[in-house]
Amino acid sequence: GMPMQEVNVQPVQFQAFSPDLVAVNQKENINLIMDVPLEVTVELGRTTKSIQDILEFTPGTIIELDKIAGEPIDVLVNGKYVAKGEVVVIEESFGVRVTEIIK
């Protein structure tokens, strides 16, 4: 085998944290993630269909959803429900006007 080599082991000396330093570090950490892109999804509604029904979908098939027309739509960020809103049209694109933030 390999000859045993002597290793110098010493206790670790950690710097004491000051509350001010922790607050500054937390702010810097938050700033680090501020530009991380998250997926925003707007959901008009949901429904459940059998495999049989889904296999019968053709162009022109109408799928009824669980929301009433005019009811606020759901806004999700990375799959988490965060707000309600209403559909708006911005030039040729759809958009959402947020009407309520979900805590």
Number of domains, the chain = 1
Give the three-state DSSP class for 32: helix
Structure token digits, residue 64: 């009824």
The enclosing domain of 71 has a CATH number of 2.30.330.10
Q: What DSSP element (H or E) covers 86? A: strand 80-90
**pLDDT at res. 103:** 87
Q: Is residue 15 in some structural domain?
A: no
**pLDDT at res. 42:** 95
**pLDDT at res. 20:** 72
List helix spans (H) across the chain.
19-33, 51-55
Range of the domain at 47: 37-101
What's the rounded mean pLDDT across residues 12-37? 78
Of the pLDDT bands very low, low, confident and very high (cuts 50, 70, 90), residue 98 is very high
What's the rounded mean pLDDT across residues 58-86? 95
Give the three-state DSSP class for 56: coil
With left for phi above 0 and alpha for psi between -120 and 50, is residue 70 left, alpha or beta? Answer: left
pTM above 0.75, yes or no: no
**Burial of 75 (C-beta count, 10 Å sphere; 0-12/13-18/19+):** buried
Q: Is residue 74 in some structural domain?
A: yes
Query: Mean pLDDT over all residues of the chain?
Result: 89
C-alpha to C-alpha distances, 71 to 23, 36, 54, nearest whole angstrom: 42, 31, 26
